[in-house]
């Protein structure tokens, strides 16, 4: 692992690091904010998964999360959204290939050799963090925006007992029924739609739900509502009597202005679960 940068921030440290990923077969970059409490021992961690076209940097710079995480004594992890490198497959469209890993383990050519984002987030990066930093892997929460909200929800429900809490900002809520999903899931996983189900938050909510609190925020003026399909997830949460809240925020769109407005409430939500 190599240190790209480390900056003092809100009494803690905002770092950027690269490492060779055996899972993805390339070098990967991630951001990590450690609050001041990490000097005294392991602290709980909140994962932030970003959306289409993003790298580790977008949320790290735009979400304004570090100040609130410092107050709560929580570490923040900002992974990349896909493998990178000259030998990594890509596509001319913004919603497939680099920047669009969709948090799945691809099985289809040309994606299968590098696009293993599920295993990267679920296994490889947590192990690295636990070895190298003062991170308490027994106290994890996960959140994300758009494609990252999809990843946060599906990982939380797909890994029972791993995360104490999950939240999402404008998640791709029903990808098996959306053009933001069917295109990518078929490209990465093939045409067998039964394989797609574990990567659909609505279907996972119907099947298993989440053993903990859930918080979803969705902007009413989001320009991608038809692709996100938030009503499907809201109905599934209600039908399951899922512990949590689904909030439609009047007037907000899909931007980081929306995320930064509500990130303090999401961090407080996770802090309550992580310190209970």
Q: What is the CATH number of the domain that holds 130?
A: 3.40.50.1820
The residue with tokens 């570090």 is 66
Please compute the mean of the pLDDT values over residues 64-77 and round it to a whole number.
98
Share of the chain above pLDDT 70, in %: 100
Residue-wise pLDDT tens digits, 169-218: 999 999 999 999 999 999 999 999 999 999 999 999 999 999 999 999 99
Spatial distance between the Cα atoms of 58 and 80, rounded to a whole number of angstroms? 10
With cut-offs at 50, 70 and 90, classify the pLDDT of residue 276. Answer: confident
pLDDT for the residue 203: 98
State the catalytic residue, choosing from 80, 167, 222, 270.
Answer: 222
State the catalytic residue, choosing from 146, 165, 167, 178.
Answer: 146
> How does the average pLDDT of the chain come out, rounded?
98
pLDDT for the residue 25: 98
Q: Is 146 a residue of the active site?
A: yes
Q: Is 136 a residue of the active site?
A: no
pLDDT at 235 > cutoff 90 = yes
71 three-state secondary structure: helix
Q: Is 254 a residue of the active site?
A: yes
pTM of the model: 0.98
For the chain, how many structural domains are there in total? 1
Domain boundaries, position 190 = 2-274
141 three-state secondary structure: strand
């Amino acid at each position: 692992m190599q240190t790209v940068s480390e900056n003092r921030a809100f009494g803690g440290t905002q770092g950027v690091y690269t490492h060779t990923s055996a899972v993805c077969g390339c070098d990967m970059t991630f951001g990590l904010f450690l609050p001041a409490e990490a000097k005294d021992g392991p602290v709980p961690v909140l994962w932030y998964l970003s959306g289409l076209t993003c790298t580790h940097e977008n949320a790290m710079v735009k979400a304004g999360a570090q100040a609130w995480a410092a107050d709560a004594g929580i570490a923040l992890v900002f992974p990349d959204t896909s493998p990178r490198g000259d030998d990594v497959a890509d596509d001319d469209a913004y919603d497939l290939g680099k920047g669009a890993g969709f948090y799945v383990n691809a099985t289809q050519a040309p994606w299968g050799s590098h696009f293993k984002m599920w295993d990267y987030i679920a296994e490889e990066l947590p192990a690295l963090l636990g070895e190298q930093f003062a991170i308490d892997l027994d106290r994890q929460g996960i959140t994300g925006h758009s494609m990252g909200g999809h990843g946060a929800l599906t990982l939380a429900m797909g890994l029972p007992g791993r995360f104490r809490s999950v939240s999402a900002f404008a998640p791709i809520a029903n990808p098996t029924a959306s053009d933001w999903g069917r295109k990518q899931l078929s490209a990465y996983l093939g045409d067998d739609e039964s394989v797609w189900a574990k990567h659909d938050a609505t279907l996972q909510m119907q099947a298993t739900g989440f053993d903990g609190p859930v918080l979803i925020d969705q902007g009413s003026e989001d320009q991608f509502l038809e692709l996100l399909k938030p009503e499907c997830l809201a109905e599934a949460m209600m039908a399951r009597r899922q512990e949590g809240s689904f909030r439609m925020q009047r007037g907000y769109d899909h931007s980081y202005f929306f995320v930064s407005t509500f990130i303090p409430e999401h961090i407080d939500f996770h802090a309550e679960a992580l310190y209970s």
